[in-house]
Chain A
Amino acid sequence: MGLITSQKQSRELFKPYDQETKEALAKRYTPEQIRAIEAGEQAIDPQDLNERGVIRTDWGSLPYLDDFSVIRPSIDRKPRSEAPVDPNMRLMTEKEMVDEMRKYDMKIMKEHPTAPDFNFEDEASRSTVRPNRIDMFRAIDETPEFIGSNGPVVSESALAPGVRMDFEAAMDDSESSKEKDAEEDERDPDGVFDRLRKQTGLTLDQIRSYQVKVLVRHRVVNQTRLGKIQSQYCLAIAGNGNGRLGLGEAKGQEPEDTQVNARIQAIKNMQPIPRYEERTIFGEVEGKVSAAEVTLMARPPGFGLRCQHLIFEMARAAGIQDLSAKVPRSRNKMNTVKATYQALMKQRIPDEVARGMGKKLVDVRKVYYGGRV
């Protein structure tokens, strides 16, 4: 007894081209392309194609596609070395560290000797001298800090994995890069979103497609011994209408600037929120900020957003279509918005709950009536 596989042989599943198909291909592709196709056929083992070339749908698979051969900065963790730890490893003394640094610098100086026509007065000539500032930082990152039983141990880089090491390009202040920065869009002539675009990598089209709205706006006062200092407080929401929502707060003297800052913060803070069938929430959730309590309740398809205006705006921005809500206690606008956000974020996902309880869960809502309900 054991698992009986009725899988076909890989060669049968992926048959080589026969003469007929080859002729048909020859009509469509040039001889060079045909040769490339044949080379590809040669290179890929059908066994491999059968085992690896499938998108997995079983329970152990991840819910997204990813290429695990590449380490992506800020998403993937740093790979740990599996090697055993050296018991004799110790931190270098100050003198040893300085020696290592000196060795590193000498190596760079040997590789990049100073030009014979070096002039200390001349700015351009001075900038060619190595080791320069980047080399100094490299030395900090690359010189060993520990000594093991077999001499100095090269420590892991402090940089995030996958970060490209071409710092010269990042420091590039040549004409071409300056021009690129200065390039402005007529839809954003004041460059309000320039910094946001640079920080997040979003395009102006994406930013403009978000639903951003200032929901709360009021005056706040700081009482000092010199008098009252007024400023404006703004709370904005941003959503992509498809399951992402963010809150942004800003405070400042200028009403216009404050609103813009709040909007930008909201876009930056956008987070995915769980949605059931991409239309409503999972069950009933409660959020509480200060005395403002919010209860959000899932509703059937076609129910609509029957809730107060602040929650309505948030639900619309997040792409929720069926929802009802209660705000039984304080109705402070700012706290209501924050409590709603908190409630949306802390939904209990039925799949996760079932896993915790060790149960199997099947959603039968799409099973009857041909899945049209």
Chain B
Amino acid sequence: MSLVHLSNVCSHLQNASKARLGLTSVPSSNMILRLTLALQTSGFLSTVARGGLTPPPFDALSTYVPEPVTQENISTRRLWLGLKYWNNEPVLSQMSMVSKPTKRIWMDVEGLGRIVRGREAGFVKGLTKPGECMFISTDRGILEARECVERKVGGMLLCRVL
């Protein structure tokens, strides 16, 4: 549950986008995996694949079965992410934490509703830019803020993505 690793992932994805990488890897943990899958559903990432120190075969990703995690190889497991670019611009250009390791922020549906409508709620700025998303850790997994409002669940604000 450490947010330090998540902060590192945020910075790493920003750096990878600025460097125009097509493929990058982040440490594998349950939280990061769920967040990257949420990013993929939102359309910020093209692929999310589990692998080791070398990338999985991307030409046969549909039939690829990742190596099972064991005590021996758990430290070398990585998540391999495909980054997207459109019109010569990265699709994911900014990614920053809302909760910090030393200060976590939780919010109910009412506050999330305000944020989604572009208003400020509890010192958290609203989603005012086109395409801006916020990811929330809820008891139903990691969801996008708009989806949280739709399903009427609150949770801990993780990061905002643009």
Q: Which residues of A contact B (CB under 8 A)?
A: 282-285, 297, 348-350, 352-359
Contact = CB atoms under 8 A, between A and B. Distances in A.
A356 B84 contact: yes
B86 A283 contact: no
Nearest to A358: B43
B80 interface: no
Interface string B54-87: 0000000000000000000000000000001011
A353 B128 contact: no
A359 B89 CA distance: 17
B43 A359 contact: yes
A349 B87 CA distance: 12
Contacts of A357: 42-44, 84, 91, 131
A350 B127 CA distance: 13
Contacts of B89: 356
Contacts of A358: 43
A255 to B, nearest CB: 42
A353 B42 CA distance: 12
Tell me whether chain A's interface is mostly helix, strand or loop, or mixed.
Answer: mixed
B129 interface: yes
A353 B44 contact: no
A350 B128 contact: no
Contacts of A355: 86
Contact of B128 (A297, A356, A359): A297
Given A357-B42, A357-B43, A352 B87 contact: yes
7 contacts: A349-B130, A353-B131, A356-B84, A356-B87, A356-B91, A357-B44, A359-B43
Contacts of A356: 43, 84, 86-87, 89, 91, 131
Nearest to A347: B130
Contacts of B132: 283
Contact of A352 (B42, B84, B86, B128): B86
Nearest to B85: A356
Contacts of B84: 356-357
A283 B118 CA distance: 9
Nearest to A282: B130
A358 B131 CA distance: 11
Nearest to B86: A356
Contacts of A349: 130
B118 to A, nearest CB: 8
Contacts of B91: 356-357
Contacts of B42: 357
Contacts of B131: 348, 350, 353-354, 356-357
Contacts of A284: 128-129
Interface in B117-161: 128-132
A358 to B, nearest CB: 5
Interface centre among B44, B87, B91, B131 (most CB of A within 10 A): B131
A349 B43 CA distance: 16
A283 B43 contact: no
Nearest to A352: B87
Given A348-B129, A349-B130, A357-B84, 6 more contacts: A283-B132, A348-B131, A350-B130, A356-B91, A357-B43, A357-B131
Contacts of B129: 283-285, 348
A322 to B, nearest CB: 15
Contacts of B86: 352, 355-356
Interface centre among A350, A353, A354, by most chain B C-beta atoms within 10 angstroms, is A353
A357 B42 CA distance: 7
Contacts of A350: 130-131
A359 B41 CA distance: 10
Contacts of A283: 128-130, 132
Nearest to B90: A356
Nearest to A350: B130
Contacts of A282: 130
Nearest to B125: A284
Interface in B1-53: 42-44
A5 B42 CA distance: 36
Contacts of A297: 128
Contacts of B44: 357
- Residue of B42, B86, B130 most packed against chain A (CB within 10 A): B130
A359 B91 CA distance: 12
